[in-house]
Amino acid sequence: MQGVQLDEKRRAAEAARGIWPQRVLTGYFDQWVADRPEAIALIGHRHRSGDIMTMSYGELDRRATAIAANLRRLGVRKGDVVSFQLPNWWQFPALLIANTRIGAVNNPMMPIFRHRELSFMLAQAGSKVFIAPSSFRNFDHGRLALQLHEEIDGLDHVLLIDGEGGNSFEQVLLEENHDPLPEGCGADPDGVTQLLFTSGTTGEPKGVMHTSNTLIGTTLQFAARMGLGENEIIFMPSPFAHQAGYEYGALLALLIGAPLIMQDVWDPATARDLIARYKATYTFASTPFLADLAALEGVQPDDMPDFRLFVTSGAPIPPAVVAAAQERLGITVVGGWGMSECGILTTTELSGHKVRESDGHALPGSQVRVVDEAGNEAPRGQEGRFQIRGTGLFVGYLKRPDLYDIDEEGWFDTGDLARMDEEGYIRITGRSKDIIIRGGENIPVVEVENALYNMPQVADCAIVAMPDPRLGERGCVFILPKPFADIDMEAMRAHLASQGISKSYWPERLEIVDEMPRTASGKIQKFVLRERARQFAAS
């Protein structure tokens, strides 16, 4: 694929580390099919109907093999892109297996994407096939998909879950009267297996390309640190089309042979019931999922006695959320840092060491560092640019090799700012574009946001820069209050004073909002808030 940056130097470095598995997904999945074909592989909950489905490894294998053979019948070959906009339904893991069997590239897309995002991504990817629901959450995906079929050159086939005729996923791809797959048509460990468009916290999405080696290598390192094995029962509310749900839900379950519980629409009460009923032991989701579950009225550890581990990343976890989850859910909370370009790369430990004040330390096979403006390693405790290298690092941006900002030593600049302590634990302090410089002094945005999370009335908050003619920038805070809570500037200032936050760091404008602008994966889109703050300053 155009833009792949995988050279012999990178291969040699990874061979020396010895973590790339040199295997593809089906090499693991086929083992579970052979060992226990009748065991449950998937449990799916449909929010709209309340229905629950289960599927064995044997049945999942039969369906995935049919999908693979029928995609080949449609003309899909090794290296072709198959795009799919699916909720957390069984078809998603089945497609991961099927596309691996024929060497096609998995291109998952979030169900909330609409014409603007999909038209760009499908054209950029050169997708051969696009798969979507006929409808989901009261939106007519089928109508949009057929419109895109007419508009995009090279998009040969559009298939719809619960569709009709020649556009029916079931009729076209589940047909069991098919030819066997030819030898050698499957994926290679160093071939691109995933094309994942970035979530858009800063603008135009970029197509991140991963191989089986980069994805599986880092996923198994994560599983080893977390002590995850085939005896787990994985609960996954994070969208599969986001790296958290893809790698640490769907892919992980198929790799380690653990049953996967799929929730297609987030609802914390339903989540509690599913976790309890099916004895889920682990999940991976962003902070809002954890906060919602811990905030359930009357929730207590005995409600979910088997549930032991909640891993969260995407943004630093407010210490108040960690404390509430530990007390009300009785679980281990692990924090981490990751991005589409590398998956999860740092985590805290199961012991809970530094979970409230850090984003963890590097997984085996990966390295992290903090550098100053000159590119030199910064002293411990000093803020600087956060750089990474190692096993899980992607192999390029589709058709944008100019954006693959990796130096001669293999370091990738994440665009984040961080501090590293004496033990090698990092704390993300913000995005480089999120810096607020007030009168020449940097405001520690994450520190102030965490202090605001301790305010009982605050459900969510974000601080951004607001232009100022005298000081250059001032802080503008957007706060989403908890239901029936009142917050004003005076109360906020009193709270920050009680938290020991320097007065020069206090936000100087407060905006109360009904909702936060978010990416598909739940991250707050600060560039949207910065634009609002700019308009406030100009008015």
Task: Measure the CA–CA gap between 358 and 334, rounded to whole angstroms.
Answer: 10
Is the CB of residue 104 less than 8 Å from the CB of residue 96? Answer: no
Task: Measure the CA–CA gap between 396 and 6, rounded to whole angstroms.
Answer: 8
- Joined tokens for residue 366: 């990966």
Interacting residues of 121 by C-beta distance below 8 A, sequence separation 6+? 83, 107, 109, 113, 197, 205, 207
Is the CB of residue 195 less than 8 Å from the CB of residue 397? Answer: no
Q: Is residue 401 a part of any domain in this protein?
A: no
pLDDT of residue 201: 45
pLDDT of residue 127: 99
State whether the Cα torsion 395-397-398-402 is positive or negative. Answer: negative
Q: Is residue 420 a part of any domain in this protein?
A: no
pLDDT of residue 514: 95
- pLDDT tens track for 459-493: 999 999 998 877 878 999 999 999 999 999 999 99
- Higher pLDDT among residues 134 and 203, named by residue: 134
| pLDDT-wise least confident of 198-207, 288-297, 384-393 | 198-207
Task: Measure the CA–CA gap between 303 and 331, rounded to whole angstroms.
Answer: 12
Binning pLDDT at 50, 70 and 90, where does residue 286 land? confident
Q: Is the pLDDT reported for residue 501 higher than 90?
A: no
* Burial grade of 202 (CB within 10 A; 0-12, 13-18, 19 or more): middle
Q: Is residue 386 a part of any domain in this protein?
A: no
Q: Is residue 351 a part of any domain in this protein?
A: no
Q: What is the pTM of this model?
A: 0.85
CATH of the domain at 526: 3.30.300.30
Binning pLDDT at 50, 70 and 90, where does residue 347 land? very high
- Joined tokens for residue 476: 């503008």
- State what percent of residues in the chain have pLDDT above 90: 82
Please give the single-letter amino acid code of residue 502: S
pLDDT of residue 287: 85
- The CA–CA distances, whole Å, from 419 to 74, 345, 371, 433 equal 51, 16, 9, 16
Stretch 308-335: mean pLDDT? 91
- Higher pLDDT among residues 27 and 428, named by residue: 27
| pLDDT-wise least confident of 84-88, 139-143, 285-289, 345-349 | 285-289
Binning pLDDT at 50, 70 and 90, where does residue 199 land? low
Mean pLDDT across the chain: 94
Is the CB of residue 165 less than 8 Å from the CB of residue 171? Answer: yes
pLDDT of residue 522: 75
Give the end of a domain, one of 161, 187, 213.
Answer: 187
pLDDT of residue 492: 97
Q: Is residue 38 a part of any domain in this protein?
A: no
* Burial grade of 435 (CB within 10 A; 0-12, 13-18, 19 or more): middle
Give the end of a domain, one of 187, 214, 241.
Answer: 187
- pLDDT tens track for 153-181: 999 999 999 999 999 999 999 998 888 99
Q: Is the pLDDT reported for residue 380 higher than 50?
A: yes
Is the CB of residue 348 less than 8 Å from the CB of residue 336? Answer: yes
- Higher pLDDT among residues 214 and 445, named by residue: 214
Q: Is residue 365 a part of any domain in this protein?
A: no
Query: Which residue matches tokens 């599913």?
Result: 274
| pLDDT-wise least confident of 270-284, 305-319, 336-350 | 305-319
| Domain count along the chain | 2
Q: Is the pLDDT reported for residue 494 higher than 90?
A: yes
- State what percent of residues in the chain have pLDDT above 70: 98
Q: Is residue 335 a part of any domain in this protein?
A: no
pLDDT of residue 58: 99
Stretch 360-379: mean pLDDT? 95
Q: Is the pLDDT reported for residue 202 higher than 60?
A: no
Q: Is the pLDDT reported for residue 431 higher than 80?
A: no
Domain that holds residue 152: 57-187
pLDDT of residue 440: 67
| pLDDT-wise least confident of 34-38, 101-105, 263-267, 472-476 | 472-476
State whether the Cα torsion 55-61-62-64 is positive or negative. Answer: positive
Stretch 508-530: mean pLDDT? 89
Q: Is the pLDDT reported for residue 203 higher than 70?
A: no
Stretch 359-381: mean pLDDT? 95
Q: Is residue 474 a part of any domain in this protein?
A: yes
Task: Measure the CA–CA gap between 192 and 79, rounded to whole angstroms.
Answer: 7
Q: Kindly report the length of the chain.
A: 539
CATH of the domain at 99: 3.40.50.980
Q: Is the pLDDT reported for residue 315 higher than 90?
A: no
Give the end of a domain, one of 162, 187, 212.
Answer: 187
pLDDT of residue 420: 98
